[in-house]
Amino acid sequence: MILTPLIVPLGLAYGIDPVHLGIIVLVNLELGFLLPPVGLNLFLSSSRFGVPITRLYRHVVTPLLILGAAVLLVTYVPAISVGVLHLLGK
């Protein structure tokens, strides 16, 4: 989140829509929050529910693959994130 104000001017210089860039940043942040071994969400879930973190890793593999595919789709197909805005004329 700290680097986002530094990245926005670069995105604008390359012609990337600011809304699209913001969605890319958020989806990548969520992927980082889930990605083992430093996934903050995994550590919080482990301590809150009393489940060993290694057990959580096994259950997170499928959502990580899905989220990784979603990151690629949102990044390379901008119509997914800004298509509705373009349809509304904004």
Note the pLDDT tens digit of each residue in 21-78: 988 998 888 888 777 666 778 888 888 999 888 888 888 888 888 989 989 999 999 8
Question: What pLDDT was estimated at residue 36?
Answer: 67
Do 80 and 74 contact (CB within 8 A), yes or no? yes
**Which of the two residues, 60 and 18, has the higher pLDDT score?**
18
Dist CA 53 CA 19 (whole Å): 35
Question: What pLDDT was estimated at residue 33?
Answer: 79
Q: What are phi and psi of 15, to 5 degrees?
A: 80, 25
Handedness of CA 53, 58, 63, 65 (dihedral sign): positive
Q: What is the pTM of this model?
A: 0.74
